[in-house]
Amino acid sequence: MFNNQCKIRTIYFLVDTGRQMIGDKIGSLNCMLAEMITIDLPELANSLEDEELYVQVISYNSRATKLYSQPIPMRDAVLSELYASGNNDFGAGLAAIEENLQRFNPIEQKPPIIIAFSNASVTDDYEQVLARLSKIEGFRSSTRIGVLIGEDADKDALRNFTQNEEAVIPISDKHSFRALFRLKNTEETSMIDLKSILKQHPNCLNSRASFKSVLLDKYPAEKRMINILTLLFECGVANKIKTAQNIAEREMHSLISHVENEYGISGQYSQEAILIWAKAYGVSAEQIKLNRQSDDAYSSTNMKTPITTTPVPTSSASTKKHLGGGIYLAGYDFPAGDIKLEVTNIIKNHDAIYYAILRKNSPSNDIVSNGFFNTQAILTLAEGQRLEIGLQGEVDLTYIHLN
């Protein structure tokens, strides 16, 4: 249900309807898309609390055709049958969403999801369009998935589109198509391809600032993971990974525990960052199953120097409290309501401190809002929400009453 606090997330389907799709292929794809857009995604949309899903379908062959004049709410979507003919002008399909992406507003919208289908070699200069899109925040912050239909699909074009080889996925039937689309996974799993970054920017490891700058430029929506990857670079964990022959279960446990205990990063994010570094260096690493307690970023065992060990009354004002990097619970570590954060110290080479308000009862650390500040910030947290303070420095928290 949409409310005034919801943000809009638009899902764009760019569908290859060139002549190679004539026959069973276009028929099967029509069925799969119809089921996804009219059944699966509306069910998902009804379960989302803080966002409303919109959809746009664009077919491309010798030209691009929009199914709707503008993206529409998912609940209102009806899929007209797509027909195959002509060339495979992927660039035309990309150009068709350019205007909408230029209007992207992060205050009102969540980063879009763009799913591009390919069945045959691209027949236009799509790279010129990609170069334009790469300068647009709405495109740069998007989650992009490439879908290969058959052996003749243009895998190189989809790699260039996603900038992440693992986001290019073959499908063979309805079930594999539905399996690729998991909003939860695209939201929680980092899309950072660090191996490609290091190949394209071999000098970025000369300094922490250079490394972080390159990542932020390429993945502006992944500030959390970029901060963790930068931390592992600074503290020497990345170098340990580089010199390892492989990372077996025991070594993975050891690395995760080190990052958790020393820096207050949850097991889930610690392991993900370790795996990203391992893949970048070509080191085989075993992903381990984390139990709920060790993977809970809010467990007191995982928090570095928690504020207090007893609940704070929520009905009265609290004195000033000093916070280091970590995650803290409103109504327990500090009173719920309006708070003021004042920067007391910023680590060398940092110019601001990251914060995030995390949704109540969310094991996946869903973010309500986040940002950076270098002097002070006024925030409002409901009881049960969590406040994350980044590792870039320290702050003082004061409970206040706003009129």
CATH code of 7-188, in short, is 3.40.50.410
| Statement: residue 313 has pLDDT above 50 | no
Query: What pLDDT, in 10s, does the model give residues 119-152?
Result: 999 999 999 999 999 999 899 888 899 999 888 9
**HSE-CB for 117 with a 13 A CA cutoff:** 27
Looking at the domain that runs over 308-400, which CATH code has it been given?
2.60.120
Q: What is the C-alpha separation between 75 and 47, in angstroms, rounded? A: 12
Q: Is the pLDDT of residue 394 over 90?
A: no
pLDDT value of residue 314 = 39
| pLDDT tens profile 314-325 | 334 446 788 887
- Is residue 285 a contact partner of residue 246, using CB atoms and an 8 Å limit? yes
* Residues carrying CATH 2.60.120, the chain: 308-400
The residues, ordered by sequence, that sit 6+ positions from 321 with a Cβ below 8 Å of its Cβ are 307, 308, 333, 334, 396, 397, 398
> What pLDDT, in 10s, does the model give residues 45-57?
776 667 888 999 9
Query: In sequence order, what are the residues at sequence separation of 6 or more whose Cβ sits closer than 8 angstroms to the Cβ of residue 112?
Result: 9, 10, 11, 12, 101, 104, 138, 141, 142, 143
Instruction: Determine how many CB atoms are found less than 10 A away from the CB of residue 61.
Output: 24
Give the predicted TM-score (pTM) of the model. 0.53
What are the tens digits of pLDDT across the range 254-293? 898 888 776 667 788 888 899 999 999 999 998 888 764 4
Cα distance between residue 345 and residue 160, in whole Å: 41
Residues 173-217 pLDDT 10s:
555 555 555 443 444 466 788 998 999 898 999 888 888 888 888
Residues of the chain within CATH 3.40.50.410 domain(s) are 7-188
pLDDT at 183: 41
CB contact set of 101 (below 8 Å; sequence gap of 6+): 112, 133, 136, 138, 139, 142
User: Is residue 42 over pLDDT 80?
Assistant: no
Half-sphere exposure of 172 (CA within 13 A, CB side): 1
Q: Is the pLDDT of residue 351 over 50?
A: yes
Structure tokens at 272: 């993900």
Q: Strand, coil or helix: what is 212?
A: helix
